[in-house]
């Protein structure tokens, strides 16, 4: 703790200066959001005070009503917001209003620093918080006194240029008053009609009375405790905007209440955009935990598993003890029960959406599939149900059309025992690869996966509805023989000697060379002898920045292919060119598997091959 002098001027932290610079000089549109930010801070302070009172802590001015008062003075061009919340001590003032702790604000700054325009939804997501007051004010004064009985009141003020001043003041009531001296071009914010309109728009769900010049303006509602048919579509959307700091409407909504095994009222929203996917860093959880309408924990990390961090909303359970501490919250049996019930209900909701509202589900999948996959890979309690929510393209679905594992199983061929999948960065790449040849030949469907996490989930799962999940780049896939379109194949002894010769030429790159039963068009294919699929190897190549970070392969050759037949002849004659051709054949097969091959050696070899061809 710093023991500050009674009257002092301090510098803002560098990031705050940067933020203020942007707030003051570049944010001209949507300036009215400053009011929402300040009201939301006031409401937070009031929620925290209510919690302190309930948990029997001693509180200064315990009888003050919990409310927000806005005073406007059109003559002096001032606006003040007063709350009777927890207030701040001198140290808290310095910490909270002189520095930025919020990682979101830093990401927001970074985004702006890269020359992007601040869009209003983004401001809503990350918040410029308290500092947004400087969009409309050329001086901001914060008069505050903490709820702690021994606390001394303080006054903080700043003009938003690099410094602020702070001094102590006797006789203040508990809570915080923020006074704005409005800029000349922001004087409309001293007019009651303007302020009332803005409150209606952004803050009508604030759970404390708000008055403007003494007139009460909001209706306090805990709509999550109401019946579904008592809440209008508009109220839901407004509530979403309030709770998610959003400006658009949600993509999906789930409102439910259950009595057993636990009494729960919940209202959950899926937003339209996934800011994590758009590159704004990891999302913070967005669901608040209530007990009988009293906020227990905002943005609770414990009420839902991490993979559901994209959800916004409210969970209210009367079974929660009000004075539950952070520690007990984390590992209480009650919390894990709540978590299980709510997660299960949400997953059920998604599968209903997928069935009854496929277009909506598709939109959801396009934006939020990464979270469902994360859940399927990490949340073993719900893995079985989550896997049913996964969607894939396949060799029998049209481009962009998605199927589930259940769809696949339903249309499996009678004699087919396993579920087949193959990974590749894009549909076109997969379809050009030799892996599909045999399956096309047999008219068997293959699921296309595009991300390593898909393969991770499927290989970890092992089976689905009793059917084995098999990556078709595995060496041990059992398949009926294909019809070789090339006519006669090499005789057995030639195959044997060619295989031995290839093994010798390619050395440690191959664990085995053998005749293929699955190729009809391509000369050769590489297969994985172990459980590591090509997609995971590809990822390791990139992560380790090492093109050799792939294990030995099984090389299968198409013994009916003219190229292989000719190679057999050349190898018998000990032609030096045969070696070059063999190496290129192997690299081509790696490329077809989507693996990355050192381009330098390939180019060199290709030039040798060209030279010979041109001669």
Ligand X SMILES: Nc1ncnc2c1ncn2[C@@H]1O[C@H](COP(=O)(O)OP(=O)(O)OP(=O)(O)O)[C@@H](O)[C@H]1O
- Would you tell me which residues interact with ligand X (CB under 6 A)? 37, 41-42, 45, 83, 85-88, 96-97, 102, 127, 129-131, 176
The answer on whether 142 is annotated among ligand-binding residues is: no
Which residue, 180 or 422, is less far from ligand X as judged by CB? 180
Q: How far is CA 526 from CA 52, 231, 237, 550, in A?
A: 66, 60, 54, 12
Compare residues 131 and 269 and give the one whose CB is closer to ligand X.
131
What is the closest distance, in whole angstroms, from the C-beta atom of residue 103 to ligand X in the complex?
10
Q: Cβ closer to ligand X: 40 or 274?
A: 40
How far apart CA 390 and CA 458 sit, in angstroms, is: 10
* DSSP secondary structure, 204-260, as one string: TT-SS-EEETTEE------GGGS-GGGS-HHHHHHHHHHHHT-SS--SEEEEEEE-S
CB of 299 to ligand X, least distance (A): 9
- CB 157, min distance to ligand X, A: 14
Triad 287, 290, 296: Cα angle to 5°: 95
Cα-Cα-Cα-Cα torsion 350, 351, 355, 359, nearest 10 degrees, comes to 30
Contacts of 242 (CB under 8 A, 6+ apart): 202, 203, 204, 205, 206
* Distance of alpha carbon 347 from alpha carbon 359, whole angstroms: 17
State the residue for tokens 């002096």: 76
Report the nearest approach of ligand X to the CB of residue 43 (Å).
Answer: 9
d(CA 66, CA 46): 6
Q: Is 37 one of the annotated binding-site residues?
A: yes
- Whose Cβ is closer to ligand X: residue 37's or residue 374's? 37
Smallest separation, CB 42 to ligand X (Å):
5
Smallest gap from residue 119 Cβ to ligand X (A): 16
176 is in an annotated binding site: yes
Helix axes 192-202, 33-54, angle to 10 degrees: 60
Is 189 assigned to a binding site? no
Q: Which phi and psi angles does 297 have, rounded to 5°? A: -155, 120
The rounded distance, in Å, linking the Cα atoms of 214 and 143 is 20
326 is annotated as contributing to ligand binding: yes
Q: Is 128 annotated as a binding residue?
A: yes
Task: Write down the least CB distance from residue 171 to ligand X, Å.
Answer: 19
* Nearest alpha-carbon partner for 183 in 139, 130, 132, 128: 139
Distances (CA, A) of 199 to 40, 68, 248: 11, 12, 17
Smallest separation (angstroms) from ligand X to the CB of 48:
8
Q: Is 245 left (phi over 0), alpha (psi -120 to 50) or beta?
A: left
Looking at the Cβ atoms of 127 and 153, the one nearer to ligand X is 127
Tokens 């009531």 identify what position? Answer: 173
462 annotated ligand binder: no
* Nearest distance in Å: CB 64, ligand X: 14
Q: Which is nearer to ligand X, 134 or 420 (CB)?
A: 134
Three-state secondary-structure class, residue 531: coil
**Number of CB atoms found within 10 A of residue 422's CB:** 27
302 is in an annotated binding site: no
Tallying the residues shown for the chain, one arrives at 615
For β-strands 215-216 and 264-270, DSSP reports them as unpaired
Task: Pick the closer one to ligand X by CB: 85 or 375.
Answer: 85
Nearer to ligand X, 40 or 423 (CB): 40
| Beta-sheet pairing, 467-471 with 419-423 | parallel
CA atoms within 13 A on the CB side of 43: 24
Q: What is the DSSP string of 60-80?
A: TTTTS---EEEEEETTTTEEE
Strands 78-83 and 175-182: antiparallel
CB of 117 to ligand X, least distance (A): 19
Distances (CA, A) of 431 to 307, 424, 427, 459: 32, 9, 6, 21
Residue 495 annotated as lining a ligand binding site? no
Minimum CB–partner distance for residue 197 and ligand X (Å): 22
Tell me 388's DSSP state.
T
Instruction: State yes or no: 444 annotated in a binding site.
Output: no
**Is 129 annotated as a binding-site member?**
yes
| Residue 131 or 448 having the CB closest to ligand X | 131
Query: Toward ligand X, which CB reaches closer, 131 or 364?
Result: 131
* Residue nearer to ligand X on the CB measure, 134 or 236: 134
Asked if residue 156 lies in contact with residue 144, where contact means CB atoms within 8 angstroms, the answer is yes
Residue 130 marked as a ligand binder: yes
**Annotated binding-site residue? 127:** yes
Annotated binding residue at 41? yes
Helices 333-356 and 358-378, packing angle to 10 deg: 140
The 10 Å Cβ neighbour count of residue 41 is 20
Q: Tell me whether residue 131 or residue 421 sits nearer to ligand X (CB atom).
A: 131
Q: Is 104 annotated as a binding residue?
A: yes
Q: Least separation, in Å, of the C-beta of 217 and ligand X? A: 18
Q: Tell me the binding residues for ATP.
A: 37, 41, 83, 88, 96, 103-104, 125-130, 176, 326
Q: Tell me the binding residues.
A: 37, 41, 83, 88, 96, 103-104, 125-130, 176, 326
């Amino acid at each position: 703790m710093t023991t500050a002098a009674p009257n002092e001027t301090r510098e803002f932290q560098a990031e705050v200066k940067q933020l203020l610079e942007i707030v003051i000089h570049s944010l001209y549109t949507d300036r009215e959001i400053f009011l929402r930010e300040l009201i939301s801070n006031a409401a937070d302070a009031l929620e925290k005070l209510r919690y302190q009172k309930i948990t029997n802590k001693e509180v200064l001015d315990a009888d003050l009503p919990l409310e927000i008062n806005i005073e406007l003075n059109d003559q002096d061009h001032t606006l003040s917001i007063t709350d009777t919340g927890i207030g701040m001590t001198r140290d808290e003032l310095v910490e909270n209003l002189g520095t930025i702790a919020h990682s979101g604000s830093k990401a927001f700054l970074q985004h702006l620093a890269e020359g992007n325009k601040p869009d209003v939804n983004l401001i809503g997501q990350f918040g410029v918080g308290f500092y947004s007051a400087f969009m409309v004010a050329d001086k901001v004064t914060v008069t505050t006194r903490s709820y702690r009985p021994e606390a001394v009141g303080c006054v903080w003020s700043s003009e938003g240029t690099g410094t602020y001043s702070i001094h102590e003041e006797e006789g203040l009531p508990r809570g915080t008053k923020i006074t704005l001296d409005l800029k000349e071009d922001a004087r409309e914010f001293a007019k009651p009609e303007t302020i009332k309109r803005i409150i209606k728009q952004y803050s009508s769900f604030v759970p404390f009375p708000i008055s403007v010049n003494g007139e009460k303006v909001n209706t306090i509602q805990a709509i999550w405790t109401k019946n579904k048919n008592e809440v209008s579509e508009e109220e839901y959307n407004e509530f979403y905007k309030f709770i998610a700091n959003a400006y658009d409407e949600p993509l999906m909504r789930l409102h439910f209440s259950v009595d057993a095994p636990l009494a729960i009222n919940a209202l959950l929203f899926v937003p339209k955009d996934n800011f994590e996917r758009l590159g704004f860093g990891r999302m913070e959880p967005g669901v608040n935990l209530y007990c009988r309408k009293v906020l227990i924990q905002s943005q609770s990390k414990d009420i839902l598993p991490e993979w559901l961090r994209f959800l916004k909303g409210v969970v209210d359970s009367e079974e929660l003890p009000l004075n539950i501490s952070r520690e007990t919250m984390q590992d209480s049996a009650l919390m894990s029960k709540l978590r299980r019930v709510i997660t299960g209900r949400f997953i059920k909701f998604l599968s209903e959406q997928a069935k009854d509202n496929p277009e909506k589900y598709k939109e959801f999948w396009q934006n939020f599939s990464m979270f469902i996959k994360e859940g399927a890979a990490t949340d073993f309690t719900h893995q079985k149900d989550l896997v049913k929510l996964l969607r894939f393209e396949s060799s029998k679905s049209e481009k962009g059309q998605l199927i589930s594992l259940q769809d696949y199983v339903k249309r499996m061929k009678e004699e087919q025992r396993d579920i087949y999948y193959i990974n590749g960065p894009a549909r076109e790449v997969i379809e050009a690869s030799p892996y599909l040849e045999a399956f096309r030949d047999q008219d068997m469907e293959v699921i296309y996966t595009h991300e390593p996490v898909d393969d991770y989930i499927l290989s970890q799962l092992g089976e689905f509805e009793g059917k084995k999940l098999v990556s078709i780049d595995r060496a041990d896939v059992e398949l009926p023989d294909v019809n070789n379109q090339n006519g006669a194949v090499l005789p057995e002894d030639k195959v044997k000697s060619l295989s031995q010769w290839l093994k010798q030429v390619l050395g440690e790159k191959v664990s085995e060379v053998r005749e293929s039963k699955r190729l009809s068009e391509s000369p050769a294919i590489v297969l994985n002898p172990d459980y590591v699929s090509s997609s995971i190897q590809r990822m390791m190549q990139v992560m380790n920045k090492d093109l050799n970070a792939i294990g030995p392969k099984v090389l299968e050759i198409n013994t009916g292919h003219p190229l292989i037949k000719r190679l057999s002849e050349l190898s018998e004659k000990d032609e030096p060119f045969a070696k070059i051709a063999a190496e290129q054949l192997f690299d081509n097969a790696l490329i077809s598997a989507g693996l990355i091959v050192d381009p330098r050696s390939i180019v060199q070899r290709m030039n040798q091959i060209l030279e010979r061809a041109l001669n």
